[in-house]
Structure 1
Amino acid sequence: MQEPREVFQTFTRRFGLLNKTCCSVLDQEVSLVQSHILFEISKRPGSAMQEIADLLGMDITTFSRQIQTLIKRELVLKSPSSEDRRIQLIHLTPLGQQVTDGIDTEVNAHLEDIFKQMTPFEKTAVLQSITLLNEAMLNSDFCCKTSS
């Protein structure tokens, strides 16, 4: 049996997590970090920038730079909160939603192709194992702590 680190190193490479660009949708090249940001904004439209940064485990400076890039590319809008003007709320633009939907389709097709190689029992076992691993990581003193 392989050592755990080797298993994760191989998984990371095969899933493309080391690639500079994770997705290309509607002529938009999206990095892995940007993909995660777009995904979380789509799940929580109108959230505060700090909330999404915390959820992703990113420092606000790095997150702000990524948001500025996504704003320039017309994928994200930022506006002050009506309750507290110091808080910036973020939303996807219609193009941002299209790109996010395209990434979802692409990733889901990739996962579907992977899971076609398994029996329904194996697929369920893998998903349950990953869920268990995510929960263990959340409770570990050595893993990054994020909100979810």
Structure 2
Amino acid sequence: MEKIIPIFHSLSKSMRGIHKSSCNVISIVQSSILYEISLMNKPSMQMVAEAVGMDITTFSRQIGTLEKKELVVRTPYEGDRRIYLLSLTGKGSDMVVAINGIIASKMENALASMNDFERETVLRSMHVLEVKLRGN
């Protein structure tokens, strides 16, 4: 178990670095919010806040900032005016595509020196770990 702590911190720092360098106009948190919104069809604010692991008050401030940057639109739900649905603007969608492209490129570069077996093993292992961590 002693080996896992330095690996965890090093991997976490490296992933944060990749993410941060891919989104110079917005924060990593805002990038994560945009990504989660892109995965869903007009999700509620509560759904996205839970998906990114953020309390609704802090999340609401982040959405306000994203609205000012014209990346997100907040629309009241017709069935209950207390609920707001989120969607990306064209500019927001373009930003998600750009950020995902940069992240994919950097990850592909990191995996490029591996042979096919190593690359598949790493990707499969990362997926299994992600699923297990999500379950905890």
TM-score, with structure 1 as normaliser: 0.83
5 Å-filtered alignment, 1:8-47, equals 8-17=8-17, 22-24=22-24, 29-47=25-43
Q: Structure 1: which 5+ runs fail to align?
A: 141-148
- Aligned residue for 2:85? 89
Q: Which residue of 1 is the match for residue 67 of structure 2?
A: 71
1:5–1:18 Cα change, 3 Å? farther
2:66 is aligned with what amino acid? Answer: L
- Size of the alignment, in residue pairs? 136
Equivalent runs, 1:121-136 vs 2, <5 Å: 121-136=117-132
Q: Show the counterpart of 1:4.
A: 4
Q: d(CA) in 2 for partners of 1:19 and 1:138?
A: 19
Q: Which residue type is aligned with residue 95 of structure 1?
A: K
Moved over 3 A (4+): 16-22
Using a 3 Å threshold, how does the CA distance of structure 1 residues 18 and 126 change in structure 2: closer, same or farther?
Answer: closer
Paired residues of 2:22 and 2:103 also in contact (CA < 8 A): no
Q: Secondary structure, in 3 states, of the residue corresponding to 1:129? A: helix
Q: Does 1:49 align with 2:41?
A: no
Deviation for aligned residue 1:138? 3.0
Q: What's the CA shift string for 1:22-66, capped at 9, x where partnerless? A: 513xxxx12111111001111113110001111122111111111
Give the aligned residue type for 1:69. Answer: T
> 8 Å contact 2:37–2:86 — kept in the other structure?
yes
- Mark the CA change 1:23 to 1:44 in structure 2 (over 3 Å): closer, same or farther: same
Gapped runs of 5+ residues in structure 2? none
**1:92-131 aligned within 5 A:** 92-131=88-127
SS of corresponding position for 1:15: helix
2:22·2:102 contact (CA, 8 Å) conserved in 1?
no
| Alpha-carbon shift at residue 16 of structure 1 (Å) | 3.2
Q: Whole-Å Cα distance in 2 between the matches of residues 19 and 93 of structure 1?
A: 21
